Amino acid sequence: MAFFQLSSPDLSNLSLGGAVLRLLESYGFTADERYLVVRGTYTDDGDPSFGLHYSFWLFDVQTREYVSNFNEQIAGVDNAREIEVSDIQTSGTSGNLFAVALVETKGTDETRLVSLDNGQVVSNNLIHSVSGEQVDAKVERFLLSDDGRFLAIQTSSEQLAAEDAPDTNDSSDIYLLDLQNNAITRISYVGGSEVTDPTYLQDIHVVGDTVKIAFVTDAAFVSPSKIDLNSKNINAEANLRSDAYVWSSVFDHDGLTGSFTFDLLSLDSDSKAAGFVDRDNSVQITDAGSVFTSSAENITEDDINESNDTIFIDNQGQIERVVFESNNELDNGSIFVSASENGRFISYLSSSPEVSGNTGAQQLVVYDRQLNTTEVVSQNGQLANNWVIDGTMSSSGYSAAFTSSADNLTEEPLEATAGGLFVSLSDSIPISGHVYHWRSHELITDVTLGLSEQFNGVSSELVSTTTDAVGEFTLANNVAGEKMITAAKEMTANDQNRVVTSADALAALKIAVGLNPNGDDSFPVSPYQMIAADVNKDGRVNSADALQILKIAVGLSDAIPQEWLFVSEAEDFWDETAKNGEGEFTLTNKDVSWGSEGLQFSEPLGLNSNFLGVLLGDVNGSWSAPEEAMELPGNYFASLEQAGIGPAYQWFSVIIA
């Protein structure tokens, strides 16, 4: 476990006079957990208004250095001090990062959303780019989906509304921008009409082919007569009417499809609206469910602390209150901060004596739902002696960053006067993913994944695991060092039951002579077909391979044994510069080169490291899993194409324009 305080960033290009760093805050980790997005609040002696100023940096948690400043990327080094960057949202990894920043020109009221791709400005006004009009919508809050496709915006402006559904409520609404198709959808719109109460944006989450948006509102987005009863009580005490909701919609390559749904999260024990969800506290959607904070006493039984509590509701509607060890409630309650992507780890703030001890200071705590254990993160041999203000958790949940004015956590003094930024990095960050068949897209069970370490030319296995009933796996990985992931699977009767036939031998022969076995009007030859056809593994596809496949098909004793081959999903077989920019696959019948040894890496991979299964000799990809196997959705491969891994037809997937 590594624990350290971030140093002060260089403010010289951002200030007119002497700058004083007031606060450092975390705005999250990149998907590979290599970079931390950091906001700095500072004052400038050269500013006669004596106001607060803001800027953002990327910080490398491995080298412990700042690698870039967003003000400089947006306005240039010489003009970095002319703008404020008050908020930023990112998606992607340290090597492929997309960002959207809220930018204000100093001395004016002009604000705009600026998008950047790997440090290069893509749009100086993203709303103008998406809408195609000079829309002046003041953004109150915005959030970017992890895949970078969707942007949710909270605004009181009426200019984003469709002409046939005008925005007349003069209060905060939420709009979803599809950055791929330049489409805008109003989210805070129910039953064909708008609501009068404001809606407050909390989270955006994409899972599979569904995009979800969490928000808090006093309005009823489900039946006010049967479920959201408190919405009618307009004279109620503060927060009684405030509930947490999730809006959901299925989408494909062309945009949102079908109807939208609204789900009420803050339900009491009678499945009615519980209320008392403070919009100033976080609501987050995870793969397993959603998390929010509420002071309602009727959500779970035995809630007697009369305080805020952290509530988790899973995808089946089961509600769980986050408590302390041995299922004891926290006397002073808790405020939810963030959760891991899979919903296993939940972090919260609490000054309850169970976690703060005799310090009386608010601490950052992580609860492990799987092991039912609690760990105070804001400590380094001793608890923080002053309040933790806020924090974030990495997508895996194994690392965290928090802001505190405590002066006893490191030997160095606080780098910012109102609160320094501290990072707790786990020695082990898990690698998770799934394994699926390249053509059928069915998830494959019983695949053995091994993680080995390369040191002084010698490989030693660290850990291994097997894919579960839905083709998923997780490997524990310590961060440093040269690593490799390998995958293997024993052949079963289902794998050998007339999967390889004479049709595959003919397909290999056609590839050998430069013909497309899929037909001229069908998919081009996939690189996975090339790999399947090279049965003698000499790096070429020729008549010798076709003969060997025919021997497999008829069951000759001297046939090359069938086996599973597994290819990293991230392996790039597409050359977008070939054929004058039209692009083509890099594998040919004369060069079948791929990472057959396994997936090698030396930097964190983040949560996902997926593999594709290719059955040796099964050139036409006719293998299919047992009937109960799950299948990846079609838009999964559209997202791979969008990420630049390859065209969707590489996986025999069709994107309908």
Question: Residues near 614 by Cβ (< 8 Å), separated by ≥ 6?
Answer: 438, 528, 531, 532, 564, 565, 566, 567
Question: Which has more confidence, 59 or 224?
Answer: 59
Secondary structure in 3-state letters for 546-574: HHHHHHHHHCCCCCCCCCEEEEECCCCCE
Contact 275, 241 (CB under 8 A): yes
Q: Considering only 53-62, 456-465, 575-584, which range has the smallest mean pLDDT? A: 456-465
Which DSSP helix (H) or strand (E) runs through 215? Answer: strand 210-217
Q: Of 365, 388, 362, 374, give the one whose Cα is nearest residue 324.
A: 374
d(CA 414, CA 408): 9
Going through 360-500 in order, the beta strands assigned E by DSSP cover: 363-368, 373-376, 388-393, 400-404, 420-425, 431-437, 448-455, 458-466, 472-475, 482-488
d(CA 31, CA 604): 9
| Maximal C-alpha separation, the chain | 88
Mean per-residue pLDDT, 496-520? 93
With vertex at residue 40, the alpha carbon angle to CA 32 and CA 116, rounded to the nearest 5 degrees, is 50
AA letter at 127: I
Q: What is the pLDDT of residue 159?
A: 92
Q: Of 55, 59, 116, give the one whose Cα is nearest residue 82.
A: 55
Banded model confidence at residue 261, pLDDT cuts 50, 70, 90: very high
AA letter at 514: G
pTM (predicted TM-score): 0.78
DSSP conformation class of 273:
B
d(CA 440, CA 443): 9
- Please report, rounded to a whole number, the percentage of residues in the chain having pLDDT higher than 70: 96
Banded model confidence at residue 129, pLDDT cuts 50, 70, 90: very high
How many other CB atoms are there within 10 angstroms of residue 65's CB atom?
Answer: 10
Please provide the DSSP assignment of 150-214 as one string. Answer: EEEEEE--STTS-TTS---S-S-EEEEEETTTTEEEESSEETTEE-SS-EEEEEEEEETTEEEEE
Write out pLDDT tens, residues 391-402. Answer: 999 988 889 999
Domains of the chain with CATH codes? 431-651 (2.60.40.1120)
Q: What is the pLDDT of residue 124?
A: 96
Using the predicted structure, report yes or no on whether residue 236 has a pLDDT greater than 90.
Answer: no
Q: What is the pLDDT of residue 235?
A: 67
What is the rounded radius of gyration, in angstroms, for the C-alpha atoms of the chain?
Answer: 27
Using the predicted structure, report yes or no on whether residue 479 has a pLDDT greater than 60.
Answer: no
Q: Whose structure tokens read 């006004």?
A: 125
Q: What is the pLDDT of residue 128?
A: 95
Using the predicted structure, report yes or no on whether residue 657 has a pLDDT greater than 60.
Answer: no
Q: What are phi and psi of 429, to 5 degrees?
A: -110, 125
Q: What is the pLDDT of residue 19?
A: 95
d(CA 404, CA 390): 8
Write out pLDDT tens, residues 377-434. Answer: 999 999 999 999 999 999 888 899 999 999 999 999 999 999 999 999 887 777 888 9
Banded model confidence at residue 82, pLDDT cuts 50, 70, 90: very high
d(CA 500, CA 496): 7
Contact 224, 208 (CB under 8 A): no
How many other CB atoms are there within 10 angstroms of residue 198's CB atom?
Answer: 21
Q: Of 499, 501, 498, give the one whose Cα is nearest residue 551.
A: 501
Contact 595, 568 (CB under 8 A): yes
Q: What is the pLDDT of residue 231?
A: 79
Write out pLDDT tens, residues 301-321. Answer: 888 888 999 999 999 999 999
Write out pLDDT tens, residues 316-336. Answer: 999 999 988 766 789 999 999
Q: Considering only 30-34, 79-83, 101-105, 542-546, which range has the smallest mean pLDDT? A: 30-34
Q: Of 307, 299, 164, 171, give the one whose Cα is nearest residue 243.
A: 299
Banded model confidence at residue 600, pLDDT cuts 50, 70, 90: confident
Contact 493, 551 (CB under 8 A): no
Using the predicted structure, report yes or no on whether residue 604 has a pLDDT greater than 70.
Answer: no
Q: What is the pLDDT of residue 608?
A: 60
Q: What is the pLDDT of residue 328?
A: 79
Average pLDDT, the chain: 91
Q: What are phi and psi of 312, to 5 degrees?
A: -115, 130
Q: What is the pLDDT of residue 327?
A: 67
Contact 230, 273 (CB under 8 A): yes
Write out pLDDT tens, residues 613-641. Answer: 999 999 999 999 988 789 998 788 988 88
Question: Residues near 260 by Cβ (< 8 Å), separated by ≥ 6?
Answer: 187, 247, 248, 249
The distance from CA 436 to its chain's CA centroid, rounded to whole angstroms, is 20
Q: CA of 109: how far to CAs of 17, 135, 138, in Å? A: 22, 15, 10
Q: Considering only 175-189, 371-385, 631-645, which range has the smallest mean pLDDT? A: 631-645
Using the predicted structure, report yes or no on whether residue 480 has a pLDDT greater than 60.
Answer: no
Q: CA of 444: how far to CAs of 180, 300, 554, in Å? A: 31, 39, 26
Mean per-residue pLDDT, 146-168? 93
d(CA 241, CA 229): 9
Q: What is the pLDDT of residue 326?
A: 65
Mean per-residue pLDDT, 12-17? 92
Question: Residues near 235 by Cβ (< 8 Å), separated by ≥ 6?
Answer: none
Using the predicted structure, report yes or no on whether residue 132 has a pLDDT greater than 60.
Answer: yes
d(CA 565, CA 620): 15
d(CA 89, CA 98): 9
Q: Of 565, 572, 576, 580, give the one whose Cα is nearest residue 623.
A: 565
Q: What is the pLDDT of residue 515?
A: 95
Contact 359, 336 (CB under 8 A): no
